[in-house]
Amino acid sequence: MPAGFDAVVPIEQVEPRPDGRVALRAAVAPFDHVRAIGEDVVASEVVVPALRRLGAADLAACAAAGVAQVEVLARPRVAVITTGDELVDVTADAPPPGAILDSNAVLLRACVRTYGGEVTAAWRIRDDERSLVDAVREPWPRPTWWW
Contact predicate 24/13, CB 8 Å: yes
Q: Where are the domains of the chain?
A: 26-73, 77-145
Architecture of domain 77-145: 3-Layer(aba) Sandwich (3.40)
Query: Do the strands 22-24 and 14-16 form a parallel or antiparallel pair, or are they unpaired?
Result: antiparallel
| Tens of pLDDT, residue by residue, the chain (147 residues) | 889 999 999 999 999 999 999 999 989 999 999 988 777 787 888 999 998 889 999 999 999 888 999 998 888 889 899 999 999 999 989 999 999 999 999 999 999 999 889 998 888 998 888 888 888 887 665 544 444
pTM: 0.54
Kindly report the number of other CB atoms within 10 A of residue 87's CB atom.
21
Q: Where are the alpha helices (DSSP H) in the chain?
A: 56-64, 103-114, 129-137
Cis amide prior to 141 (ω within 30 degrees): yes
